[in-house]
Amino acid sequence: MKRIQLITLTILLSTSLFSQEHFSGITTSKRVGLLNATNNPAELANINSKFEANIFNFSAGISNNKLSFNDLIKGNNLEDKIFEGNEAVNLRIDSQIYGPSFAFKYNKWGFGIYSVANIKANVINVNSQLADAIQNGNLSTIFSQTIISSNENQRLNATTWGELGFTLARNIIDLPKHKLNIGTNLRLLFPGAYANFSANNFSGTLINNMGNLSLTNASANVNIAYAGVLANDYNDQGNYNEFFSQGINGFAADLAINYRLKDENDTNSYKLNTGLSIKNIGSMTFKSNNNLNKNYSLNVENFESLDLNQFENAESLSEIETILNDPANANYFQSTSSTADYSVKLPTVINAYADVRLAKKWFVTASVNQKINDDSKNDFITTQNSYTLIPRFTTKWFETFVPLASNEISGFTSGIGFRVGGFFMGSNSVFSALANNGKQADLYLGIRFGL
C-alpha cells in the first residue's frame, strides 16, 4: 500500500521547497509596480514610473499543519510524523513564476501585460488514522484492526496552468487630499495538467494481517480525475512543468478599488493607502486527449473485503483507475458518472489592505485574504485564508519589511524582506521556520526596473 501513501506525499517529498500569499510586503509596497497590480489592479494608476518592466519574479512555498521546518531539514521519518495524532493532514504547495512583463502610465490610465506560470499541490483533510494505518500497518503489529470514519472530503490534488494577464486601471477622483482608482485584471488561462483523488464521507474498517491490508464494512464517494501529463507518473517532477500545453481554455478576472489619503506636503508619499479587490473570478477546462473525470460509489458489505495490496505498485492515477475498473473489484466500486472534459474553478478571494504612514519613512500594512468558496469540493483549486501585519521602512531606493501572518494551515509565521532599487528578495516565514516550530517555508525574489 506504499503507493497510496506515496500519492499523499508525492509533492512534499519530490520538491525541496515548493505560501499562499505571494510576494508579501512587495505587493503593498509604496514603490508601486506590476506586482502591486496583481494584488489590486487599481494600484496601477499609482505606478511610480512612466514605464516599468519586470524581468523575472519567483515565489514558492510549502505550508502544512504537522511538520516543522526542522523536520523538513532533517528529512527523517516524514511519512510517520505527518500522520501522528488525530488531526487531519493539510498541506499546501504553491508556486508562481512571472515571465517578462510590462506596464505604463498614460494620463489617468495605467496599462499592463504579464505572464505567469502556476503550480498548486495539496493534501486536504486526509484522515491521520487512515493514512497512518496504511503507512505503518504492516510494521506495527502482526494483526491490527482500525475503524475509520470521516465526514470530510479527503483530497489529493495537483494543478498546473499558465496565464496571460492584461491590467487596466483608471483614476476617477484626484483631489488635493483624496485619490480614488478602479481597475481590473483580465486573464486568459492556459490549462496545463491536473490530478485529483478524493474520498468523501469515508467509513470502514482497515485490517492488517501480517502485512496483508484489506478494507471491510466500508463506504465512500470516490472521485478520480486527471488531465495532461499528471495522468502519468505523479512522482516525476518534470510533469509539474506543463503550464501552457492545452492552449486558451479559460478566463478569469479581478475587480478592484483603491483609495489614498494624500500628503499635501509630499507628492511622493501618502498618509493612508487602502485597497479592496475580488480576485480569481473564473474557471478553466482541461481538454487533453487522456482526460478523465469519474465518480465511484465504494461499498464493501457484510463479510466481504477489498484487497488494498493491489494498489501497491500503481504509479499513476490512470493505473489506479484501471484497478478500480478491474472485474474483481466490480462489486466494490460502482461507477456513478464519467466525463472527458473537466472544468475547475479558481479560488475566488477577497483581498483588503490598509497601508498607514506612522512617520516620514515608516509604514505599517494590515491585509486580509479571505476565500469565499468551499475548496474541499473536487472541482475547486484550493487556497488558504491569511491575515498579515507588515511593518516597513522605505525610501526611494531601499525598503525593508517584516511580514507577520496568521495562516489557515500553518498558523503563525514571521519573516523578512528587502528591496534595493529594482531587486527584491524575502520570505514570509524565515524567522518562524528557524525557530524550529514553524510549519511553513517559502522564498520569493525578483528584478524589475522603471523609467
CB half-sphere exposure, 369, CA atoms < 13 A? 23
- What is the reported pLDDT for 13? 38
Looking at the predicted structure, is the pLDDT value of residue 96 above 90? yes
What's phi and psi for 428, nearest 5 deg?
-80, -10
Look at 7 and 324; give whichever has higher pLDDT.
Answer: 324
> Residue 378, by phi and psi: left (phi above 0), alpha (psi -120 to 50) or beta?
alpha
Looking at the predicted structure, is the pLDDT value of residue 353 above 90? yes
Looking at the predicted structure, is the pLDDT value of residue 104 above 90? yes
- What is the reported pLDDT for 142? 64
What's phi and psi for 419, nearest 5 deg?
-135, 130
Q: Average the pLDDT over 2-22 and give the result.
A: 44
Least confident of 73-82, 116-125, 382-391, 415-424: 73-82
- What is the reported pLDDT for 3? 41
Kindly give the pairing relationship between strand 143-174 and strand 292-300: unpaired
- What is the reported pLDDT for 79? 66
Looking at the predicted structure, is the pLDDT value of residue 220 above 80? yes
Looking at the predicted structure, is the pLDDT value of residue 236 above 60? no
CA distance 305 to 76: 34
CA distance 326 to 318: 13
115, 104 contact by CB (below 8 A)? no
Least confident of 100-104, 198-202, 236-240, 291-295: 236-240
Sorting pLDDT into bands at 50, 70 and 90, what band is 403? very high
Q: Average the pLDDT over 325-344 and give the result.
A: 88
- What is the reported pLDDT for 400? 97
- What is the reported pLDDT for 311? 81
Look at 315 and 154; give whichever has higher pLDDT.
Answer: 154
Q: Average the pLDDT over 121-139 and give the result.
A: 73
3 state SS of 149: strand
- What is the reported pLDDT for 451? 78
Looking at the predicted structure, is the pLDDT value of residue 140 above 60? no
Sorting pLDDT into bands at 50, 70 and 90, what band is 237? low
Angle 145-147-150 from CA coordinates, rounded to 5°: 150
What's phi and psi for 94, nearest 5 deg?
-145, 130
3 state SS of 423: strand
pTM higher than 0.85, yes or no?
Answer: yes
- What is the reported pLDDT for 5? 42
Q: Average the pLDDT over 249-260 and give the result.
A: 97
Sorting pLDDT into bands at 50, 70 and 90, what band is 1? very low
CA distance 439 to 8: 18
Looking at the predicted structure, is the pLDDT value of residue 176 above 50? yes
Sorting pLDDT into bands at 50, 70 and 90, what band is 139? very low
Least confident of 11-20, 42-51, 140-149, 358-367: 11-20
- What is the reported pLDDT for 9? 44
Task: Report which listed range, 96-100, 275-279, 394-398, is most confident.
Answer: 275-279
The three cell numbers of residue 408 are 489557515
The three cell numbers of residue 62 are 510549502
Looking at the predicted structure, is the pLDDT value of residue 134 above 70? no
Looking at the predicted structure, is the pLDDT value of residue 247 above 60? yes
Instruction: Report the percentage of the chain scoring pLDDT > 90.
Output: 51
3 state SS of 47: coil
Looking at the predicted structure, is the pLDDT value of residue 75 above 80? no
- What is the reported pLDDT for 340? 81
Q: Average the pLDDT over 229-236 and give the result.
A: 68
Dihedral angle, C-alpha 412, 414, 419, 425, nearest 10 °:
-80
Q: Across all residues in the chain, what is the average pLDDT?
A: 86
